[in-house]
Structure 1
Amino acid sequence: MAAESDGWVGMGWDWTDVDGVRRRLDQGADPERWSGGRPLHRAAVFGSPEVVAALADRVADVDAVENGVTALWEAVVSRKPENARALAAAGADPWRPSLGGWSPGRLSLAGPTPGLFPVPEGVRLTGTERAAAEEADRLITALGTFYYDGTGLACVAGIDAAEAVGRLEAIPVAGDSIDFDELLDDPYAYDPEETLRIIGVTSVPGGCVVTQPWGYAPQMPGVLTRLSADTVCYGLYANPKSGNQGAIARHGTVEGWDLHPGGGPRENDTSEEVLASYLYQYNPVAYSCAFAGLRPTDRRAVVGPPDAWVELPRRDYWGH
Structure 2
Amino acid sequence: MDDQPDIVEGLVAAGADPWRPVLAGWSPGRLSLAGPTPDLFGVPEGQRGLNAAERAAVLEAKRLRAVLGDLHSDGLGLVCVAGIDTPEAIRRLDATPVEGTRLHMLQEEPWGGEDIDEQMRIIGVTTVPGGCIVTQPWGYAPQAPGVQQRLSAGTFCYGMYANPKSGNQGSIVRNGIIEGWDLHPGGGPDLDDDTATPEDVLLAYLYRHHAVAYACAWAGLRPTNARAVTGYPDTWAELPLRDHWKH
Question: Which stretches in structure 2 are left out of the alignment for 5+ residues?
Answer: none
Q: Give the number of the structure whose alpha-carbon radius of gyration is greater.
A: 1
The residue that corresponds to 1:171 in the other structure is: 96
The residue that corresponds to 1:107 in the other structure is: 31
Please give the alpha-carbon distance, in whole angstroms, between the structure 2 residues aligned to 1:213 and 1:146: 11
Please give the alpha-carbon distance, in whole angstroms, between the structure 1 residues aligned to 2:66 and 2:108: 25
- The answer to whether 1:220 aligns with 2:132 is no
CA RMSD of aligned residues (A): 1.2
Secondary structure of 1:233's partner?
A: strand
Please give the alpha-carbon distance, in whole angstroms, between the structure 2 residues aligned to 1:159 and 1:318: 22
The residue that corresponds to 1:237 in the other structure is: 161
The residue that corresponds to 2:57 in the other structure is: 132
The residue that corresponds to 1:60 in the other structure is: none
Equivalent of 2:110, from 163, 187, 208?
187
The residue that corresponds to 1:18 in the other structure is: none
Please give the alpha-carbon distance, in whole angstroms, between the structure 2 residues aligned to 1:85 and 1:297: 37
In terms of fraction of residues, the more strand-rich structure is: 2
Question: Which stretches in structure 1 are left out of the alignment for 5+ residues?
Answer: 1-76
The residue that corresponds to 1:271 in the other structure is: 198
After superposition, the Cα gap between the structure-2 partners of 1:86 and 1:161, relative to the gap in structure 1 and judged at 3 Å, is same
Secondary structure of 2:199's partner?
A: helix
Equivalent of 2:239, from 293, 307, 312?
312
Please give the alpha-carbon distance, in whole angstroms, between the structure 1 residues aligned to 2:187 and 2:221: 20
Please give the alpha-carbon distance, in whole angstroms, between the structure 2 residues aligned to 1:185 and 1:94: 52
The residue that corresponds to 2:130 in the other structure is: 206
TM value normalised by structure 1: 0.74
> Residue 202 of structure 2 aligns to which amino acid in structure 1?
L
TM value normalised by structure 2: 0.95
> Residue 213 of structure 2 aligns to which amino acid in structure 1?
A
The residue that corresponds to 1:300 in the other structure is: 227
Please give the alpha-carbon distance, in whole angstroms, between the structure 2 residues aligned to 1:311 and 1:99: 43
Please give the alpha-carbon distance, in whole angstroms, between the structure 2 residues aligned to 1:278 and 1:82: 19
Instruction: Show CA shifts across 1:113-158 (max 9, x none).
Output: 1100031124211111111111111100110112111000010001
- The answer to whether 1:252 aligns with 2:176 is yes
Higher relative contact order (CA 8 A, sep 6+): 2
Q: Is the 8 A contact 1:184 1:214 kept in 2?
A: no
After superposition, the Cα gap between the structure-2 partners of 1:185 and 1:94, relative to the gap in structure 1 and judged at 3 Å, is farther
Cα deviation for residue 90 of structure 1 reads 2.1
Instruction: Show CA shifts across 1:219-266 (max 9, x none).
Output: 000000000000010000000011110000111111111111111111
Once the two structures are aligned, what percentage of the paired residues are identical? 63
> Residue 89 of structure 2 aligns to which amino acid in structure 1?
A
For this pair of structures, how many residues does the alignment match? 242
In terms of fraction of residues, the more helix-rich structure is: 1
Equivalent of 1:289, from 209, 216, 227?
216
Please give the alpha-carbon distance, in whole angstroms, between the structure 2 residues aligned to 1:291 and 1:91: 36
Cα deviation for residue 86 of structure 1 reads 2.1
